[in-house]
Structure 1
């Protein structure tokens, strides 16, 4: 809701994500990427009006599921999440080890009392927590630290470790490389790629880091002003031909290793979208048709000139 009225934060977001596949969702801040991830986990506020469906492999429609189903059978078990701003999702009075062990316990369906009562079970719990930390490159020496004692990069790795605990068939990673140096970006991306391809799981990665997307993605979806304006194989997107939508091409041209030319202007307000193409005011190819008619997504691209 904006200014007392509803706005469409995301619309016409249609895609299929197969087992073993990574889809990278890219676009400027505020275009609706994180809202889409929240919808897929049933985390939008109660007054958010949603339409359409988001179906898992077994047919469950996440958008239509009740809170009990989402909490008990979906979140963490069938859909994992690496959240944006991970420090805000960590309990400040609990150590990272406690976070991990509690997550292992809950996903295994064990109670705290039963776990403590069985030394062998407790050892397995600790081993699972350490293994999850190792997979996310979180140092074992920091497991007994509290969230406020971690850097932004360490908090990001802690959140990634928590998301990997349940081995969910679908993982949503919202900016999983934020705050990491390039070596750790590569290690995190490689772990997510292994988690996806070798184990036959699906990954939706939301990112501003196009280099990370090129390293991991099978498919790239570009979002602008709440809509997917291009969805194409990563090999084509990063290849010689490049993307077909002017905005998508502009994102690549803004990279330092390419033209290093930023996309001019700023995205429109979601509550005041123009009648035609939302990118028309920033596009050198825009004409009267672009300004009057909203282009549909056809053959993977929403552009009158593609």
Structure 2
């Protein structure tokens, strides 16, 4: 799907005044260790509307996967979560995913209203059940015909015959496609896909991305967590760039890739092979020792004394936000 095609089909995501399917407000996640505190997600706000595909990108360890697990209550006991994440599911009362409790998440949210494609399929699959049995059980649990298993396999690019294998008999890419099929089986209104193209060759990467795009074009929503910037540009309506636990820029995909405002977003794009192919200089800070000010300042050529204060997300003219005291493009921030 080309950029022009995406713009033509993705208009539901940009209809002003529509209620967001998911509204994340001031989300924070900390892990308490014996001698330190890991601040994995901080002050994060994000809105996802029906029909929209939002890509969350950034270097490894910035908090992308923690965000996904926090929304579904899948974090360990040493996690402390603050803020709100309200899910507006059609035909049901809104539910705050952060405060509703594990019982409600397990009974009415996970695998029903919200599906998850996990980053590590090997740990998500029952080793003593074939793929067909796993899919059949999932379909039956949600009132759907078990005969749909073969169709789901084809949808994700998996040979239906491979459903009769056990997880240990599947390659990494085949297991990835199976967990994608399992996440899609209940037909959730929101799908969180955490690195869903891991282990796939390029044609299957494109196949999976187009599948996610089609779901959004049919009215569902997708949060795509990925390190693949080219993949994000291919299908996303908007891109949220995370750095050191926070979203530093969130803009429409075409605008961000053409004219990034945050120096980190610009450096990340310059690392692409079809651009400068230049690595981002320096290293990100440890999440156990985040600075009080701008976390990117030590790596940023635009830093000044003002960067000792943490920048807040500021609206920009195109409707996105950027958290930077010195955005690259004049007029990017008021």
Q: TM-score, normalised by structure 2?
A: 0.84
RMSD across aligned C-alpha pairs, in angstroms? 1.2
Distance 2:211 2:283 in 1: 35
- Tell me if 1:257 matches 2:274: yes
- Tell me if 1:277 matches 2:277: no
Q: Is contact 1:138-1:161 (8 Å) kept?
A: no
SS class of match (1:244): coil
SS class of match (2:95): coil
- Tell me if 1:162 matches 2:170: no
| Match for residue 153 of structure 1 among 151, 164, 173 | 173
Give how far 1:274 is off: 1.5
- Tell me if 1:305 matches 2:326: yes
Question: Which structure has the highest helix share of the two?
Answer: 1
Name the residue aligned to 2:57: 26
Name the residue aligned to 2:98: 63
Q: TM-score, normalised by structure 1?
A: 0.91
SS class of match (1:108): coil
- Tell me if 1:36 matches 2:71: no
Distance 2:100 2:158 in 1: 34
SS class of match (1:266): coil
Q: Is contact 1:230-1:301 (8 Å) kept?
A: yes
Q: Name structure 2 gaps, 5 residues minimum.
A: 1-31, 316-320, 328-334
SS class of match (1:23): strand
Name the residue aligned to 1:294: 310
Q: Name structure 1 gaps, 5 residues minimum.
A: 110-123
Distance 1:205 1:38 in 2: 13
Query: RCO higher in 1 or 2 (8 Å CA, sep ≥ 6)?
Result: 1
SS class of match (2:248): strand
Aligned residues: 287
Distance 1:178 1:94 in 2: 22
- Tell me if 1:213 matches 2:232: yes
Q: Is contact 1:136-1:160 (8 Å) kept?
A: yes
| Match for residue 92 of structure 1 among 120, 127, 131 | 127
Give how far 1:197 is off: 1.4
Distance 2:104 2:312 in 1: 35
